[in-house]
Amino acid sequence: MQTFSHILKHHYEVDPDRVCLYLLQTNQPDYPITYRSLLRGAAGYAKTFKNAGIMPGEVLVLILQHGIDLFFAYFGAILHGAIPSIMPYLTEKLLPERYRADLASLISITRPSGIVTYKEFEEEVRSALLPEDSVRNLFLSGEIDLPCDPDFESLCGMKRTQDNIVLLQHSSGTTGLQKGVALSHQAVLNQLDTYGKVLGLNEEQDVIVSWLPLYHDMGLIACFILPILLKIPLVLLSPFDWIRAPYRLLQAVSTYKGTLSWLPNFAYNFCALKIRDRNLEGVDLSTWRAIINCSEPMYLKSHMVFFERFKDFGLKYEALATCYAMAENVFAVTQGGIDGPVIVDEIDRESLQLEKVAREPMVGKASIKLLSAGAPIQGVQVKIVDDDGNKLPDRKIGEIALYSNCMLSGYYNRPDITQKAFINGWYKTGDYGYAVQDQIFVTGRKKDLIIVGGKNVYPQDIEQLAMEVPDVHPGRVVVFGVINKELGTEDVVLIAEIRTEDTAERDRISDLIRQTVTRGSAIALRQVVLVGEKWLIKTSSGKIARQANRDKFLNELC
């Protein structure tokens, strides 16, 4: 029987000196970590957890930055049989009070028994704790048992079974933190097994290069768990460094002969537009065989911009790939562009928008080109359904539903929303799309969720924050996403009804809204639009209609 701990034990015993991870940090030498050092570090954490009385099956929340402590703590929790969950670290922009409130809300639902953080962050975490909550221990990274040889005989992780939950995956923001996706050993290992085969992974040739955050499924599964368990060397940059110096990703691919990366769509535009030639001297991208676009709407234009910018540096067009993924399925649902270029479907625009059908383009009428997300990976079935759950024929737009051997065990401690997510055993994704034979095309979203740079943003969280500004009233503010073609991602737009006509006063209010939202969510508003009273459209029940207001904004204010 295989669990995470059994696989780690195998690598530790068979190939201890193999480097599993190269950590790249600005102004520091690259730091290679072998399986021996990873497992020894993790064993120190496991010992600390055990001595503190943490029980297998209990949740441990990790509040650590990208780095060795996070890696050790994560696998230490697993070796001990506890369930790790990574919470994003506080950034300088986020208001500590807001962070505390989010943490308290995570704790109240997930009920972790311990939290791991740094000494300098201890006070912050303590202030979010309540005497009656579940947290019994606060572990500080500087006070953990020293790395030691793991004694697998006594490690509680070795006694976990395949259907036990191995990890929790949260998305960000107040709403996301209240919804932890619980995944079993079996589910994750099924995913890695089939996904590894689809990608044709080869431990002697492949190298994964990533800058993605580990609290996101794409970063955690594809660019952390998968490489470490499947023995594919991983080169890891921090998202903080990458956003300021995107060229580091390409330099790392060149230096380490990287073969695979996963990127949200905006990163293609970002890299293409913001990297100067002087940062590309000597860079060779010819080893890159799969650059996988995933986690937000994908655009052919983004692929083209990226390819044109870097083709002179050895980039192959066939390397551009696509994937449709979600934490609820561990990660990948479909994968495209591995054995040949990504399939592009040109369809009539009007039929898509008005009739919800993906028809062939018609002469003289506008068409759009969509990137296929590929075919479902083995073990995953996908169907397109109508509102009643009936399967729709090819090319009809409906909700994407899936059934697989790697589904979530449930939303942790949330049987209410777990039940709602399924229909006859099929998971309803909330995404719209259509099928053409085995190829899946994603066309939109049922829910109001906004995805910015691959990160989920719940508009209700942002609206709630804006209402903290004294001049912004409940029911008079709306938030939605608008695609920004230049950036290849969505812009977050906020519209608020404000009484005053005074320009200076309006500037002050709009600044205050931006500030309050950024400090409360770490999300930057791309546009704040102040309108007069009665501008916003409401539903018959008096609620703000996000979609209708988005359409009105696009028609009247753009």
Partner 1 sequence: MKVDIEIKLAKYIAIDVLKQPNRMIDPQAALISSGLIDSFSLIDLALYVEDEFGVHIDDSELNASTFDTIDQLSDLIQNRS
Interface positions with partner 1 (CB under 8 A): 26-27, 92-93, 241, 243-246, 270, 274, 276, 453, 487, 507, 510-511, 514-515, 517-519, 524, 526-527
Q: Residue 152 or 247: which CB sits closer to partner 1?
A: 247
> For residue 308, how many other CB atoms are within 10 A of its CB?
12
**Dihedral of alpha carbons 21, 90, 120, 131, sign:** negative
Q: Residue 49 or 535: which CB sits closer to partner 1?
A: 535
Sequence-distant (6+) residues with CB within 8 A of 466 are 472, 477, 479, 494, 496, 513, 516, 517
Q: Is 127 helix (H, G, I), strand (E, B) or coil?
A: coil
Q: Residue 293 or 510: which CB sits closer to partner 1?
A: 510
Residue carrying structure tokens 């794409």 = 218
Minimum distance between the CB of residue 516 and partner 1, rounded to whole angstroms?
9
* DSSP letter assigned to residue 511: H
Q: Residue 267 or 290: which CB sits closer to partner 1?
A: 267
**C-beta of residue 408 within 8 angstroms of C-beta of residue 187:** yes
Residue carrying structure tokens 């939109």 = 444
**Euclidean distance between the first and final Cα of the chain, in Å?**
59
Minimum distance between the CB of residue 313 and partner 1, rounded to whole angstroms?
19
C-alpha closest to that of 325 among 426, 191, 439: 191
C-alpha closest to that of 106 among 80, 125, 93: 125
Q: Residue 174 or 404: which CB sits closer to partner 1?
A: 174
Q: Residue 245 or 537: which CB sits closer to partner 1?
A: 245
Minimum distance between the CB of residue 31 and partner 1, rounded to whole angstroms?
17
Minimum distance between the CB of residue 312 and partner 1, rounded to whole angstroms?
20
Q: Which amino acid is at 460?
A: Q
Minimum distance between the CB of residue 510 and partner 1, rounded to whole angstroms?
8
Minimum distance between the CB of residue 373 and partner 1, rounded to whole angstroms?
25
Minimum distance between the CB of residue 515 and partner 1, rounded to whole angstroms?
5
**C-beta of residue 169 within 8 angstroms of C-beta of residue 180:** yes
Distances (CA, A) of 492 to 92, 218, 463, 476, 528: 21, 22, 11, 17, 9
C-alpha closest to that of 42 among 63, 72, 86, 70: 72
Q: Residue 507 or 551: which CB sits closer to partner 1?
A: 507
User: String of b and e for 122-146 (b: at least 16 CB within 10 Å)?
Assistant: eebbeebbeeeeebeebbbbeebee
**Dihedral of alpha carbons 442, 493, 218, 329, sign:** negative
Minimum distance between the CB of residue 492 and partner 1, rounded to whole angstroms?
10
Residues forming a β-bridge with 477? 496
Minimum distance between the CB of residue 26 and partner 1, rounded to whole angstroms?
5
Q: Residue 238 or 329: which CB sits closer to partner 1?
A: 238
Q: Residue 150 or 488: which CB sits closer to partner 1?
A: 488
